[in-house]
Structure 1
Amino acid sequence: MSEDLDRTVPARPEAAARPEGEPARPEAEPARAPRPAVAPLVPGLALVLALAVAGAAVGELFPLVGGPAAGIVLGVLLAATKRPGARWRPGIGFASNRVLQTSVVVLGAQLSPAQIVQVGVGSIPVLIGSLVVCLTAAYGIGRWLGIVGDLRTLIGVGTGVCGASAIAATAPVIGAAGVEVAYAVSTIFLFNVAAVLTFPLLGHLLGMSGHSFGLFAGTAVNDTSSVVAAATSYGGTAADHAVVVKLTRSLMIIPICVGLAWLVRRRDHAVAAAEATARPRLRVVKLVPGFLIGFLLMTTANGIGLIPAAAHHGLGELSAFLITVALSATGLSTDLAALRRTGPRPLVLGACLWAVVSVTSLVLQLLTGSL
């Protein structure tokens, strides 16, 4: 038997050559899988960048539309004409994921924790109150309308926090599908336009001061470009105050994303327990996505003066362009059939939340004496 084994399993050459008493050499490590090549990303990224440039140009010509909304519309139109094939998908996927996360990091360069103080104590109750009411209404009304969880979450944070930027930050945390991101951004865009057209008229009818209208626009309009458009038409004081309120409101991305990450991991833990599989540990460190840590670092760097004021405008433009790139990729990957199956209910939710946030902002200003 021993002779048979010796014939069947030949000794390894290195083992036979090793002198007696010499320690065994460690086995060679298996070759690591090569990192994804850059070349497959190029066609899709080139296509997405071309769409983003076109979208940014449309946004410059029509500020009411904005680059991100124009980019996603162009992407959807192109996808409706001819869906990109396998050659284009790696670059499109990279743009809709990595570029999206990078845009959120760069967004942090415009913000500072000190801005909360600059806004003033009287503004904080209106800002926080309208956000809490919006998120609560998104959950309740969304469930009543039968809208799936991820889509109602995206519409809720987009309306309550800061439009496309909040959707960009939230989507990778909850693992939202591209079609849900596209529908949420489209819904937010529609009511941004409605706000820009109607809010100044409403402000004049109510006799609001520039300060109070700035607070109203900063808390009830979604994307920064739309906030600026609405407030500028009301006057310089309104525009200055609205921008600060809006940027402070953007800081709410941090606790919301951390909270959503915790809820997602808790859900995964419950599913694993129900299926009697290995339960993933709820580690606090992993609740904060990497790009959100980058956002915090950029915000801190700006707060302590490491980012010069002269760079703020350029970084803001870069963040807006990166969001346009990412949303153009989302548009390209949109499944129009799935959008049609979703129906008009998300638009109804967006309309309800827009009305809820607007009324809540005015009522809280009245109660706090800032109206």
Structure 2
Amino acid sequence: MSPFEIGGYSWPGSQEIVCSMRSYLPGVALAAALATLATVLGRVLPVVGAPVLGLVAGAIVAAVGGKALQDDGRFAPGLAFARQRLLQAAIVMLGLGLPVSAVLAVGNRTAPVLIGTLVIGAIAAFAVGRMLALDAESATLVAVGTTICGASAIAAATAVMKPRRDTVGYALATIFVFNVVAVLAFPPVGRLLGMSQDAFGLWAGTAINDTSSVLAAGVIFGAAAAHFAVIVKLARSLMIVPMCLGLHMQRRRTAEPGSERLSVRKIVPVFVLLFLVASVIAGTGVIPASWHSDISLAGGWLIAAALVGIGTSLTWAQIRRAGTRPLLFGGILSVTLAVGSLALQSATGWR
């Protein structure tokens, strides 16, 4: 069956679809297998998490895979599909575990610290990025990962920006380093400062990157702190939406200076709209509470599969060429957020 057109779009025929699916199968199967392994190990090592393990697994396979993983190899089409489409599906899945109603229930009491840390992070990212003369892609990915939502924010930004793969890998490695440091350092510092369970939860939720690391630090400090920290972290994760819109509009302006007025359809990526729809659905209560852990697991698996695809395209030489400046940038941002959050909590009466 030959291709046909509907509404100006060209749709492939059934024979082309079957051939395309066959070309995708080896790479998708490889990404799925490694993502499953990363997910299992990620539950054993929550501080590391499935996304980082997926990236590492992909990089290791790339080191030994040879030509089969290169652009003209048999695994290449499926791995490219994992990098692009599975990444977008993962962001939509994230919305199903992010009910708007529950996040908004955090209330006005936490808003000054939540919003304040985001403003502090944005200002610090701009200033420090310029001071270190960091390239725009690296600065953006490390900044959104540090200030918003770790690997999930980097994954969402990657789906919009289409950055170099080595830049994505380095940004994720940077986030991982400071996640580990935060999980080890936050609980003893919180006890030294005499913080309450809720105050520590707010600190962890606004100053630690990935949700898994927020939860790990909270559990070490106390069960109530862990619960509150995750809710705060979910509220922070909602910033993925305006982040994606801003990056998408900036990308279009850069690519098409002086172009015609943009329509809403062009400004808003489809996966962002689906993320919002999924979040609203999650807030209606139609999804049983017993499904939430499975949805979270599925979302983590999809991100891990996408990062396997990114990992298979990395080489250690690419990462070495990035130098130490992105790592220094991430460290400065992480410390700035941690201190800024504490200062805002003190100013707003959190103890």
> After TM superposition, is the score higher than 0.5?
yes
- SS of the residue corresponding to residue 104 of structure 1 reads helix
Structure 2 regions of 5+ residues with no counterpart? 1-9
What CA distance in whole angstroms lies between the structure 2 residues aligned with 1:257 and 1:115?
Answer: 22
Offset of residue 54 of structure 1:
1.8
**Aligned residues with identical type, % of pairs:** 44
Offset of residue 149 of structure 1:
0.7
Offset of residue 286 of structure 1:
1.6
The residue that corresponds to 1:24 in the other structure is none
| AA partner of residue 35 (structure 2) | A
Is contact 1:122–1:370 with CA below 8 Å preserved after alignment?
A: no
Is contact 1:193–1:226 with CA below 8 Å preserved after alignment?
A: yes
| 1:111 correspondence with 2:98 | yes
The residue that corresponds to 1:329 in the other structure is 309
Report 1:1-371 matches (<5 A).
34=13, 35=16, 37-83=20-66, 84-85=69-70, 86-270=73-257, 273=258, 279-371=259-351
What CA distance in whole angstroms lies between the structure 1 residues aligned with 2:37 and 2:263?
Answer: 43
Q: Which moved more, 1:32-41 or 1:178-187?
A: 32-41
Is contact 1:269–1:281 with CA below 8 Å preserved after alignment?
A: no
- SS of the residue corresponding to residue 163 of structure 2 reads coil
Offset of residue 40 of structure 1:
0.4
Offset of residue 346 of structure 1:
0.5
- SS of the residue corresponding to residue 256 of structure 1 reads helix
Q: Which moved more, 1:48-57 or 1:109-118?
A: 109-118
- SS of the residue corresponding to residue 46 of structure 1 reads helix
Offset of residue 120 of structure 1:
2.3
Q: Which moved more, 1:158-167 or 1:105-114?
A: 105-114
Q: Which moved more, 1:155-164 or 1:308-317?
A: 308-317
User: Max radius of gyration: which structure?
Assistant: 1
Is contact 2:99–2:282 with CA below 8 Å preserved after alignment?
A: yes
- SS of the residue corresponding to residue 287 of structure 2 reads coil
The residue that corresponds to 2:3 in the other structure is none
Structure 1 regions of 5+ residues with no counterpart? 1-30, 274-278
* TM-score of the two chains, using structure 1 as the length reference: 0.87
Cα deviation code 1:191-222 (max 9, x no counterpart): 00000000001101100000000000001111
Cα deviation code 1:23-67 (max 9, x no counterpart): xxxxxxxx9755551000111111111211221222122222111
What CA distance in whole angstroms lies between the structure 2 residues aligned with 1:126 and 1:312?
Answer: 27
* TM-score of the two chains, using structure 2 as the length reference: 0.91
| AA partner of residue 218 (structure 1) | G
How much is the aligned-residue C-alpha RMSD, in angstroms?
1.5
Cα deviation code 1:50-101 (max 9, x no counterpart): 2112212221222221111111111112212334131111000000110010
Offset of residue 247 of structure 1:
0.8
Is contact 1:76–1:332 with CA below 8 Å preserved after alignment?
A: yes
Cα deviation code 1:324-345 (max 9, x no counterpart): 1111111111133221111111
| AA partner of residue 365 (structure 1) | Q
Offset of residue 179 of structure 1:
1.3
Cα deviation code 1:170-200 (max 9, x no counterpart): 1121221211111111110110000000000
What CA distance in whole angstroms lies between the structure 1 residues aligned with 2:23 and 2:65?
Answer: 20
Is contact 1:108–1:298 with CA below 8 Å preserved after alignment?
A: yes
Is contact 2:170–2:322 with CA below 8 Å preserved after alignment?
A: no
Offset of residue 113 of structure 1:
2.1
Distance 1:129 1:328, change over 3 A: same
Is contact 2:104–2:235 with CA below 8 Å preserved after alignment?
A: no
- SS of the residue corresponding to residue 114 of structure 1 reads helix
Q: Which moved more, 1:148-157 or 1:45-54?
A: 45-54
Distance 1:119 1:32, change over 3 A: closer
Offset of residue 359 of structure 1:
0.7
- SS of the residue corresponding to residue 339 of structure 1 reads helix
What CA distance in whole angstroms lies between the structure 2 residues aligned with 1:328 and 1:269?
Answer: 32
- SS of the residue corresponding to residue 33 of structure 2 reads helix
What CA distance in whole angstroms lies between the structure 2 residues aligned with 1:119 and 1:33?
Answer: 47
